Structure 1
Amino acid sequence: MTTYVMLANWTEQGILKAKDSPRRLDAAKKALKDMSGEFKSFYLTMGDYDMVAIFEAPEDAVAARFSLQLGMLGNVRTRTLKAFPEAAYREIINSLS
């Protein structure tokens, strides 16, 4: 499984219904699980982003579909980063000529 870092900000719609956010998070976790992915961690954050999630998906297309489906609901705007674990990082660096 590939790891992804999702940075999210509430939209105007999402912040107006912030009290519903835990229910929406549960629905997002279920949607990702139904796509054979899994949330590893979730954080409410202060600063440039309102929330950060770490999740795994079996392939990039699943991560893209998940991000798009979240965006279509209108409560958050996301940026998703593909993350390389330390072992892959070391392998990539060691392959440099």
Structure 2
Amino acid sequence: MLKGSITVQLGDSFEKRADFSWEWMYSKSYFETPDLISQHNILENIAKLLDENQINSTVTKVLSPINATNLRQAHEMVENGHMMGKVVIVNK
């Protein structure tokens, strides 16, 4: 049984022939499945591939430090509808 619910409005997507797929990366830890360690192994492997430049991250913008100004800027970048990739805010 799910512990919460999510409502998604798909009305505008149908006219654009868009598909909606849902994949939740935390389902193993959320539901405490017996194969939980496999999530750790997958993330370790991804980190290794990123470090070796065998795969590329979708991060296109990094803001630092974590503060109200950078939170507003990141939010505006995503809201304007022209953001390509991911924006990340880090505390360096």
> Which protein is bigger by CA-based radius of gyration?
2
When normalised by structure 2's length, the TM-score is 0.29
TM-score by length of structure 1 reads 0.28
Structure number having the greater strand percentage: 1
Higher RCO (CA 8 Å, separation ≥ 6 residues): 1
